[in-house]
Structure 1
Amino acid sequence: MTTSPTMLRLMGLAAFSSMASMRVCDPMLVALAQEFHVTTGDASAVIAAFAVSYGVLQLIYGPLGDRFGKVRVIIGATSACAFFSAATAMAPGLAVLVASRAGMGAAAAGIIPLAMAWIGDQVPYAQRQETLARLMGATVTGMMMGQWFGGVASETLGWRAAFAVLSALFLVAAVLLVRQMRVSTIVPAQAGCSTGPAAAFSLAAYLSATRDLLRIPRVRWVLAVVAVEGALAFGTVAFVPARMVNGFGLSASAAGGVMVLYGVGGLLYSLFARRWLALLGERGLALAGGTLIAVGLLLLAWAPVAAWAIAGCFLAGLGFYMLHNTLQTHATQMAPQARGTAVTLFACLLFLGQSVGVMLMAASVDRGWLAPVFTAAAAGVLVLGALVARSLRPHLHG
């Protein structure tokens, strides 16, 4: 293993695939509802199942990464993703599809958060936000492609083809990571690997370590904030394609194309993260991010024409990654002595929050309450951005 750009790029490929798999179902909801003769809200169980298992399994991957090495665990998780993607492609009904998506989320949970923690081990704090932003570029691109290809595949090749392609992509990433690990040379501790035999997992020790982390006020604050962010900002994203299809008459592929703009906003942030950080500072990024998300959600809720809603999708994406990248950076520093566990707790709360948001949105979309709920989420995230901006304080670099 190596800290060279090659290893970072391969982790980016795995992260790209993980995020694509996470968001690929968003533009499929209407098509899945029609195929399985259920409501759009019922079909959204494929998203909630992924989010719940993704969040809960963070509690396992954190200590595994700390004990056995983050890169090794990422390789195992990527390989499992290839298997579950193939199983999803062959699901005979909605119940099996939901179960296989839950397995997919459980496997994907070991990729992006541990890659973040690995960067936290390797990169000094002063350069960490920029490096995390590069990883974010891969995840955002994966989100964009997943949302676009999910819509296109559901209309042309069939939704199953999307999962078959994802399975192949995960397999390629896993093989390349294994090859890179074998041909490179590095001190094991540098790679985030154990330097000796791994101790057996102790539930009591893990619970004790988690309890110690939760005693730290800053840890509790960051985890609470990211859970609310997940519900308000991330939970609403899953229903933007449904809003575009049902509200403006767009096709599934066109709605998936609109969602690409959400990712474009995030990609734009990742490309200019250094400049915006220098210009606005962390507090300015958090405040601007919350404001842009709120404006984007309001446009999506009340726009009289599709063009305004499309602009809102872009603004919401740009704002989300401004706010979330700031929180990510502080998550890598909130408990350096147990960074893998701390960062995966962070991801756990993000996706548990998202699952709550998805379930609330599922109830609202079937009742025609989408616009009011989007409005409430906009107000909530505006307040959240202001609170985060007020709470941020300088950290020691290094």
Structure 2
Amino acid sequence: MNPPVWLMATAAFTVGCGMRMIEPLLPMMARDFGVGLGGVAPLIGGFALAYGIGQFAIGPMGDRFGKIRVVAISLALYAGTLIGAGLAEGLSTLLLFRVLMGLASAAVVPLFMAHIGDSVPYGQRQAVLGKFLNGMVLSQLLAGPLSGVAGEYAGWRWAFLGLGIVAVLITGFFILRLGAPLWRAPVEGGGGGGLSGFVRLLRKKPGRRLMIGTALDGLLMFGGAFPFLASLLIERFGLSAAEAGLVVASFGLGSLAYTQSAGRLLARLGERGMVLVGGLGVAAALLVFALSPWWQAVAVAQAFVGLLFFMLHGSLQARATEALPEARGTAVAAFAMALFLGQSIGSVIFGTMIVWVGFTASMLVASAGLVGLTLWLRGVVLR
């Protein structure tokens, strides 16, 4: 029972679209429900919070009942929540479906990564994970534009319904492709042991260091520097929201380059070299964000950030699949939780810093912090 990488990437694409599709739809949803943007903002946070909390359950469940089996059920539930969101009559009902959407989708990417860890030797794992990430990268590039076009011409409800129909088709194909073994295969009964698996992971010094490094990764980049780049471009250079969005979206170009070259980069640089080049490269890009007087330089740097970020982050992902071999689902779920926690804290810290000291100082702090994190990861965590 081993789905091909392209099928796993396609399923991950639908989940990535569900994460990012709502951003261009917020203004029209606010108009339809008669509220301000603040009234519909919980539709973003509700999904993210549910996705993070869901990791507590899905890791042990995947180790106990079978990772691919749990993913198949989760995909079906996810498709149902998308259709339910498209049919929701009130804002509170829509929020409920968004929360359920976050819970349902929480299993897909972590358990696929854990499955790759089970079935691919460690030396080849980062390259296979890179191919799998194609789905998430393409969703970053396409989710916003596709949902925006659907919302503009057919209404925001059809953005949800359209993705829901795609998710139903992918789920059906996924189940048919795997066939009877999906349900007849014996329960794995792995050593996850429920929440005790998280405890065992944190009792190990390498496990604690990996989770700390992952949380700091999320704090400095996904929660710290990256979310505020569009605001910097608008405020400093006077770009429109659409122009700033295009610059930010160029992250996906670098990410796509990583997914196509991860194996060759790993063979040339090794894991610790990937982390060093990736981390210091992103730190240098943050210096450009902080100090450049030209938005074009920021755009070029951002295009490279996608590649450099995944050189660092992909190495941590690969290590997460090996952090608790007897309960990989639990280990990868813990990795996702650590990243989510760091992202949540980082957005508060750097959002406050930007208000008090401005973009330049905040980006410089993120750059310096990333240099320190990179050296620590290379010298201690990946030793």
Alpha-carbon distance between aligned partners in 2 of 1:37 and 1:252, rounded to the nearest angstrom? 18
Deviations 1:328-370 (Å, cap 9, x if unpaired)? 1111111111111111111111112222233445556777944
Alignment partner, residue 230 of structure 1:
218
Kindly provide the CA deviation profile for residues 306-332 of structure 1, in whole angstroms up to 9, marking residues without a partner as x: 322222321221221111100011111
1:18 corresponds to: 15
Contact 1:147 1:259 in 2 (8 A): no
The aligned amino acid for 2:187 is S
Root mean square deviation of aligned Cα: 3.3
Deviations 1:285-313 (A, max 9, x none): 11111122223334344443432222232
Matches within 5 A, 1:64-103: 64-90=61-87, 98-103=95-100
> Is 1:139 matched with 2:136?
yes
Residues 30 and 242 in structure 1, CA contact (< 8 A), matched pair in contact too: no
Deviations 1:92-111 (A, max 9, x none): 67665554433322221100
Provide the rounded CA distance (Å) in 2 between the counterparts of 1:32 and 1:380.
Answer: 38
Q: Which position in structure 1 is the counterpart of 2:331?
A: 342
Counterpart of 2:48 in structure 1 is 51
Residue 255 of structure 2 aligns with an amino acid whose one-letter code is G
Letter in 2 for 1:229: D
Deviations 1:248-277 (A, max 9, x none): 454555444333311111110111111111
Match of 2:36 in 1: 37
TM-score between the two structures when normalised by the length of structure 1:
0.83
Q: For the structure 1 residues 31 and 349, does the alpha-carbon distance in structure 2 shift closer, same or farther, using more than 3 Å as the test?
A: farther
Q: 1:215 to 1:63 in 2, by over 3 A?
A: same
Distance 1:355 1:145, change over 3 A: same
Report the Cα distance in structure 2 between the residues aligned to 1:368 and 1:46, rounded to whole angstroms.
30
Q: TM (normalized to structure 2)?
A: 0.86
> What is the CA–CA distance in structure 1 between the aligned matches of 2:56 and 2:127, rounded to whole Å?
27
Counterparts of 1:160 and 1:253, CA distance in 2: 22
Question: Post-superposition shift, 1:217?
Answer: 0.7
Distance verdict in 2 for CA 1:375–1:82, change over 3 Å? farther
Cα distance in 1 between the residues matched to 2:292 and 2:88? 37
Measured in 2, the distance between the counterparts of 1:60 and 1:186 equals 20
- Partners of 1:92 and 1:244 lie apart in 2 by 37
Are 2:60 and 2:197, in contact at CA under 8 Å, matched by a contact in 1? no
Which range moves more in the overlay, 153-162 or 345-354?
153-162
Deviates more, 1:147-156 or 1:294-303: 147-156
- In the TM superposition, residue 173 of structure 1 has moved relative to its aligned partner by 1.7
The alpha carbon displacement at 1:157 in A equals 5.2
- Which deviates more, 25-34 or 71-80? 25-34
Q: Percent identity over the alignment?
A: 35
AA paired with 1:271? Q
Report what 1:258 is aligned to. 247
Q: Aligned-pair distance for 1:62? A: 0.6
2:187 is the alignment partner of 1:194: yes
* CA distance in 2 between partners of 1:242 and 1:27 (Å): 16
Gaps (5+ residues) in structure 2? none
Summarize deviations over 1:152-194 as a string: whole Å, max 9, x none: 5566655544333322222222111111121668993xxxx61
Q: Aligned partners of 2:214, 2:59: CA distance in 1, in Å? A: 17
Distance in 2 (CA, whole Å) between partners of 1:231 and 1:140 is 20
Provide the rounded CA distance (Å) in 2 between the counterparts of 1:77 and 1:22. Answer: 15
Q: For the Cα contact (< 8 Å) 1:151–1:252, is it kept in 2? A: no
Kindly provide the CA deviation profile for residues 88-143 of structure 1, in whole angstroms up to 9, marking residues without a partner as x: 44556766555443332222110000000011111111211111111112221122
**How many Å separate the matches in 1 of 2:83 and 2:183?**
34
- CA drift of 1:151 comes to 5.1
Q: Which amino acid counterpart does residue 175 of structure 2 have in structure 1? A: V
- Whole-angstrom CA distance in 1 between matches of 2:354 and 2:81: 29
1:127 maps to 2:124: yes
1:115 to 112, 115, 134: 112
Q: Equivalent residue for 2:161?
A: 164
Equivalent pair of 1:295/1:315 in contact (CA under 8 Å): no
> 2:194 aligned with 1:206, yes or no?
yes
Preserved contact between residue 276 and residue 285 of structure 1 (Cα < 8 Å): yes
Matches within 5 A, 1:287-302: 287-302=276-291
Asked if structure 2 preserves the Cα contact closer than 8 Å seen for 1:148 and 1:260, the reply is: no
- 1: CA distance, partners of 2:132 / 2:36: 39
Is the counterpart of residue 218 in structure 1 residue 206 in structure 2?
yes
Distance 1:365 1:99 in 2: 32
